[in-house]
Amino acid sequence: MTTTNSSTVTLPASPQAIPFQFTETPQLIDTQSIDTLVTETQPVINNTPTPRPTRTPIPTIGVPFALFAQDTVCDTNLPDGLLQVLVFNSSRRQVAGAKIIITWDAGEEQFFTGFKPEVGNGYADYLMSPNITYTLRLALGSDVASGLTAPTCQTPSGETFLGGIKLTFQQP
């Protein structure tokens, strides 16, 4: 048996057969313009110092409160000798946290509005004892309500009971 191997060998093309392509010579780039470009793209660092925090001024209290109304309250559904105080600002909004100072011959007490929000933010009350005369003022500055005593009231059937007083303070 005879086998014939035939193979064909291809030779690479001769250098003269490869066509040349001519290109332009690259231009030189000025390195100074590249540096300028780099510095233009870098973020600017601001060396201005940050100001330190300062104290916030406390708002001024404003105009003193005027005693707007003083009413006698004869209601059998209220506790005997109930002194009710309502405090409003100049916009007719109730003022919560207003300190109330009540004095009498034997002493002094302080109480605040806002502890009974179901009645009102500017509402406060105090139980007066019978036969004691009180003086009341707001710590924020107000007219003085003096000569306050629990009034004697009468029911429709003729029975007597201890009534109350309602004071309304408002900024003008």
CATH number of the domain residue 145 falls in:
2.60.40.1120
The answer to whether 69 and 88 are in contact (CB under 8 A) is: no
Inside any domain, residue 160: yes
Q: Which residues of 52-79 are buried (b: 16+ CB within 10 A; e: fewer)?
A: eeeeeeeeeeeeebebeeeeeeeeeebe
Rounded Cα distance, 153 and 75, in Å:
9
pLDDT at 34 over 80: no
Looking at residue 42, its pLDDT comes to 59
Distance CA 164, CA 63 (A): 28
pLDDT of residue 92 exceeding 60, the answer is yes
24 falls within a domain: no
- Dihedrals φ, ψ of 57, to 5°? -65, 140
Task: Judge whether 42 lies within some domain.
Answer: no
Binned at pLDDT 50, 70 and 90, residue 52 comes out as confident
Question: Could you give the CA distance from residue 149 to residue 163 in angstroms, rounded to a whole number?
Answer: 9
**b/e burial code for range 97-133 (CB count within 10 A of at least 16 → b):** ebebebbbeeeeeebebbeeeeebbbbbbbebeeeee
Residue 161 located in a structural domain: yes
Question: What are 47-50's contacts with CB under 8 Å, separation 24+?
Answer: none
Instruction: Say what the pTM is.
Output: 0.64
Contact (CB, 8 A) for 110 and 99: yes
Band the pLDDT of 53: cuts 50, 70, 90. confident
By CB atoms closer than 10 A (0-12, 13-18, 19+), residue 167 is: buried
Encode pLDDT of 111-165 as tens digits: 999 999 999 999 999 999 999 999 999 998 999 999 999 999 999 999 999 999 9
Answer whether residue 6 is part of any domain.
no
Q: How far apart are the first and last CA of the chain?
A: 132
Tell me whether residue 13 is in a domain.
no
Do the domain assignments include residue 112? yes
What average pLDDT does this structure show over 60-88? 91
- The reply to whether 41 falls in a domain is no
Q: Which residues contact 131 (CB under 8 A, 6 or more apart)?
A: 149
Domain total for the chain? 1
Note down the domain range covering 87.
66-170
Q: Quick one: pLDDT at residue 1?
A: 52
